[in-house]
């Protein structure tokens, strides 16, 4: 069973990571090629491209300028510890023991606009580049076109054995995968809350719940899709009535 998640805009490169396990991203040459193009942008161009404030435009301009092409652990951090958004609050990687961290290396994949696809312990540098960014460069119309073949082939190879893909990523990131080429069952957990008598998806809560689902699968070493239905963290309960074979719906009041 492979679980895919989105990265986070918010990063933590100040706190030192104590996990000894480190790995190298699979597509560093393509990442460096992309970073080289991004370094050509001015701060104002970065802001317009990503719809950022002046301060964030300058910050991310500097990140691209300072991006090192050489693999250097001293300027990098494990991806799963570097990302710091709602999904990663739910994932709570700090609670993983060494066995679970090693298991995450084979079960968890992070989709990325700059790196394509990451293993949790892949070392990354600070960046911000959302997959849906409308960035035309070289002969590519967008980042989907740049990454789709590599990301899809990587997951296809891994799923040849695992057979089940759990989609805990946002639609923006999941769209980079050509799912028609995957010979696997794809299940998307959906998290809804009862608000004013109506079940709704609350964005930040759903992101956090997707992280909790990834945590639940990895920490409990779940291999069968039906066992996911037992997920009950943070008061969520599986709704058989609202679910089907491709979409597992969890609700809470």
Q: Per-10-residue mean pLDDT for the chain, 253 residues long?
A: 97 82 94 97 96 96 92 86 96 95 96 98 96 96 98 96 94 97 96 92 96 98 95 96 97 93
Nearest to 13 by CA among 133, 173, 123: 123
Q: What is the pLDDT of residue 47?
A: 96
Own/partner pairs, 66-69, CB within 8 angstroms, 24+ separation: 66/125, 67/35, 67/38, 67/39, 67/125, 67/127, 68/125, 69/32, 69/35, 69/36
109 phi, psi to nearest 5 deg: -130, 135
The Cα–Cα gap between 231 and 122 comes to: 28
Q: What is the pLDDT of residue 84?
A: 95
Residue 39 contacts residue 69 (beta carbons within 8 Å): no
What is the percent of the chain where pLDDT is above 90?
Answer: 91
Residue 96 contacts residue 88 (beta carbons within 8 Å): no
- Residue 249 to residues 87, 224, 241, Cα–Cα distance (Å): 17, 17, 9
Q: What is the pLDDT of residue 37?
A: 97
151 phi, psi to nearest 5 deg: -65, -45
Nearest to 7 by CA among 85, 69, 66, 61: 85
Q: What is the pLDDT of residue 18?
A: 67
Tell me how far the alpha carbon of residue 44 is from its chain's centroid: 27
């Amino acid at each position: 069973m492979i679980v895919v998640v989105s990265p986070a805009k918010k990063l933590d490169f100040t706190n030192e990571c104590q996990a000894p396990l480190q790995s190298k991203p699979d597509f560093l040459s393509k990442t460096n090629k992309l970073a080289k193009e991004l370094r050509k942008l001015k701060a104002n161009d970065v802001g317009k491209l990503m719809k950022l404030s002046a301060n964030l435009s300058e910050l991310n301009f500097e990140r691209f300028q300072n991006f090192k092409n050489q693999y250097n652990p001293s300027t990098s951090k494990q991806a799963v510890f570097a990302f710091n958004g709602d999904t990663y609050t739910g994932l709570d990687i700090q609670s993983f023991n060494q066995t679970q961290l090693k298991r995450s290396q084979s079960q968890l994949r992070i989709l990325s606009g700059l790196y394509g696809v990451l293993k949790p312990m892949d070392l990354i540098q600070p960046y911000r580049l959302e997959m849906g960014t409308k960035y035309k460069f070289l002969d590519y119309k967008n980042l989907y076109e740049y990454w789709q073949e590599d990301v899809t082939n990587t997951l296809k190879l891994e799923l040849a054995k695992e057979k089940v893909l759990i989609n805990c990523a946002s639609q923006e990131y999941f769209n980079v995968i050509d799912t028609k080429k995957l010979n696997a069952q794809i299940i998307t957990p959906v998290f809804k809350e009862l608000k004013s008598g109506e079940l709704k998806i609350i964005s930040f809560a759903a992101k956090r719940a997707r992280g909790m689902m990834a945590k639940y699968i990895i920490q409990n070493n779940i291999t069968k899709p039906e066992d996911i239905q037992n997920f009950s963290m943070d008061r969520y309960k599986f709704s058989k009535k609202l679910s089907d074979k491709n979409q597992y719906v969890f609700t809470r009041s």
